[in-house]
Amino acid sequence: MTKNVKIALLENTAMNGFDINVTTRKGDVRLAGVVDKQNQIDTAIKLAQGADGTHTIHNELTINN
């Protein structure tokens, strides 16, 4: 499942170049890292939700100030 989320993030051009740490456990996905804008957080969450096997997304992404 971690692989599915990472692939979804890597294949999305808006998310390329960001170091987002993905960990999963029994369908729970934790996203951690730093992005530039709120819409990138929203995109990362949507991509993670769309990956096979995910149930709950724990968003720990922050915006770079």
Q: CA–CA separation, 10 vs 45, rounded Å?
A: 13
Q: Longest Cα pair distance anywhere in the chain, in angstroms?
A: 33
**DSSP at 55:** -
Tell me the CATH class for 2-63: alpha beta
Q: CA–CA separation, 43 vs 65, rounded Å?
A: 19
Predicted TM-score (pTM) of this structure: 0.92
Per-residue pLDDT of the chain (65 residues; tens, 9 = 90+): 899 999 999 999 989 889 999 999 999 999 999 999 999 999 999 999 999 989 999 999 999 98
